[in-house]
Amino acid sequence: MTTAHDHPEGIEAERALKYAVQRVPGGRAEVVEGVIGHLSYDWDHERARGALRAQLSEAVDRLDCIAGSGDLDLPGSLNWYVPDLAVVPGRVARGAGALVPGQTLLVAEVSSATSAKADRVVKRRRYAEYGAPLYLLVDRMERSVTLFAEPGSLGYTKADGPHPFGTAVRLPEPFGIDLDTGGL
């Protein structure tokens, strides 16, 4: 794992970058491998994200969780993510600022032309490194959905997919639901 300590600027660069990204005027931004990017979504992206959120809502309520796109810090690295959707236990989210991926039950990214490489490669690796138990990739360019599970320091050891849009994708416990990917 590359950490902020591997860079000449070290931890001070990490702190400065993460401080700055939280204060970007005019909207939200994230840091992917040390590069600040402004988050901007088209309507198809928003539709896919909304469809995911709606399908997860019953399980989110049953599990006493919160689903949203709050900040995820990856301490010791030059990364600060704003996932398209994360499911977090309510007791963990209450009063919290940024969380770490390992505090989530699921992280989902909906790819766009500008985010596809980061979502497919970089975030997949980093979410696993930082312990997100499930990573759901909705790849709009490939028109597919892949669920990654069993995180480790070298990445996820289990991948279910890619499944073409229209295929039901099973989210394991604690969710225990089938996602309808036809509307994504």
pLDDT in tens, 57-69: 999 999 999 999 9
Note the pTM of the prediction, 2 decimals: 0.89
Cβ(176)–Cβ(134) below 8 Å: no
Write down the residue that tokens 């039901």 correspond to: 168
d(CA 168, CA 178): 6
Q: How confident is the model at residue 37 (pLDDT cuts 50, 70, 90)?
A: confident
Instruction: Name the least confident of 22-31, 94-103, 171-180.
Output: 22-31
Give the contacts of 134 (CB within 8 A, at least 6 positions apart): 105, 106, 107, 147, 148, 149, 171, 172
CA 154 to chain CA centroid, nearest Å: 17
Q: What was the pLDDT predicted at 10?
A: 60
Cβ(97)–Cβ(71) below 8 Å: yes
Higher local confidence (pLDDT), 1 or 113: 113
Q: Calculate mean pLDDT across residues 45-72.
A: 95
Cβ(105)–Cβ(87) below 8 Å: yes
Higher local confidence (pLDDT), 6 or 97: 97
Among residues 156, 111, 109, the alpha carbon closest in space to that of 131 is found at: 156
Q: Is the pLDDT of residue 8 over 80?
A: no
